[in-house]
Every structure is written in structure tokens, then in C-alpha cells.
Amino acid sequence: MIQVENVKKSMENGVRRVEILRGVSLEIPTGQFVAIVGASGSGKSTLLGLLAGLDTPSEGAIRIDGEPIHNLAEAELAQVRGRKIGFVFQSYQLIQTLTALENVLLPYELNVGGDGIARARKLLEEVGLAERMDHYPVQLSGGEQQRVALARAFVTNPPVVMADEPTGNLDSVNGKIVLDLLLERNRKAGTTLVLVTHDPEIASRADRRIVLKDGLIVEDALVAHGSKHG
């Protein structure tokens, strides 16, 4: 589902060139739950952003579902993201002037066309927000906002869901709810799930753990007790 070949990412910082990723290669098969871990500054969020088409690599190739995304213009990238990738941010990234339902509908209206209201309502019910659909983000708790963000990521039924520290701003109870919803999606819909996390407990529930350090993969191993085994 995801192929990465010798991807590098560098940025100019004044006269200095900062190497963020220094040659990363990996393949993620359909339906796998992968946790990307590593210290702050290791490059994990940068890697996730490249996989999601939110940024482009300095060198190397990235394919999502067989489609190369490393050399696409922004308009083409946006189309691929809309069809193939649901993305969950740590900070929710909801639009404050839209209700929960309208926020969930946004990717559907941008990328699919037609009437997605029934699907959006069903997803909000599934994440436990049946009574909160007409509320604005300011009227929702952090946990509720992140569940709206999950429903938004799921609404176009993308084959890949990516999440950057999706429980990072939540207490442990809400963090567990959000993680369980992501895992349920991974199991029921066969969604490929790629998640960046600092939380070793979350990483322990993945099928596979990839450790980044200084812009390189230093460990890549299947987890003995992944989400599908218990």
C-alpha cells in the first residue's frame, strides 16, 4: 500500500542545510498498523507528512496504492489525499465556524461529490457524538473534537489513515477511546494505519514498530502482541 524508496528531506536554515531525513526506505502492506516512534527531532512527523502528501521529499520516491506522489503538483497531491488518505492531527484542525457535522462533511464535499450527510451522521454516531452533531468545536471537549477529526478522516472511506500523535493532547481515558476507534477502523475496514506516537503503550498495540533516530530507521520490527492478536 505504501512504498518509500531512499527518501531524503532537507531544509535551508539561513546558510545551513538541515538534513531531517537522510535516506528512508520501507514498505507497508495493506491493512497493517504501523507505529512510528522516536525522540523529538528524529524526523518521524516529517516522514508522516511526506507519506500523507502534505510535503514533498528533497530526494527519493513515495507511492501510495501504486500511485507516485513524490513529484506531483499541489493540486494533484490534494486529489490523491482526498481519495486515498485520511489524516488525523494532534491539534484536531477543525474549522471553528463549522458544526461537527459540517467539519466531517468537508473532505466528502471537496473530493467525492454527492450527498455524504447520511454517512457523516453515521460516523459521528459511531464515535459517540450522535447528540453533538450541531455543536461547534468551541462547545466540544478536546476528546470530542478529536473524535470529530476521526470521523472526518474516515468519511471518504480512504484505504490509508495516518495520525500524528492523535492522543497527544488528550487525557488517558479519551486517548484510549480515540486509539480504540482507530484500531476498530483498521480491523473492520482493513484500513492501513500509520501512526506517529511518543506513547509506548500505543506502539505496543501496533502490528509493527519503526524507530527513527537522526533521520534514519534504526529499528523496524513486527510486534509480537499486535492489535490483531489481543
Q: Indicate the Cα dihedral angle 44, 48, 54, 58, nearest 10°.
A: 60
CATH number at residue 52: 3.40.50.300
Residue from 104, 95, 91 nearest 157 by CA = 104
Residue 29 pairs in a beta bridge with none
Place of cell 470530542: 144
The pLDDT assigned to 99 comes to: 95
Question: Is residue 197 within 8 Å of residue 33, measured between CB atoms?
Answer: no
> What range defines the domain where residue 162 resides?
2-229
Domain count of the fold of the chain = 1
3-state secondary structure the chain: CEEEEEEEEEEEECCEEEEEEEEEEEEECCCCEEEEECCCCCCHHHHHHHHCCCCCCCEEEEEECCEECCCCCHHHHHHHHHHHEEEECCCCCCCCCCCHHHHHHHHHHHHCCCCCHHHHHHHHHHCCCCCCCCCCHHHCCHHHHHHHHHHHHHCCCCCEEEEECCCCCCCHHHHHHHHHHHHHHHHHHCCEEEEECCCHHHHHCCCEEEEEECCEEEEEEECCCCHHHC
The pLDDT assigned to 227 comes to: 42
pTM for this model (two decimals)? 0.89
The pLDDT assigned to 75 comes to: 86
Residue from 213, 215, 195, 214 nearest 205 by CA = 195
Q: What is the pLDDT along the chain (230 residues), one digit of tens a residue?
A: 899 999 999 998 888 989 999 999 999 999 999 999 999 989 999 999 999 998 899 999 999 988 899 888 888 888 888 889 999 988 889 999 999 999 999 887 665 555 678 889 999 999 999 999 999 999 999 999 999 999 999 988 899 999 999 998 999 999 999 999 999 989 999 999 999 998 888 899 999 999 999 999 999 999 986 444 43
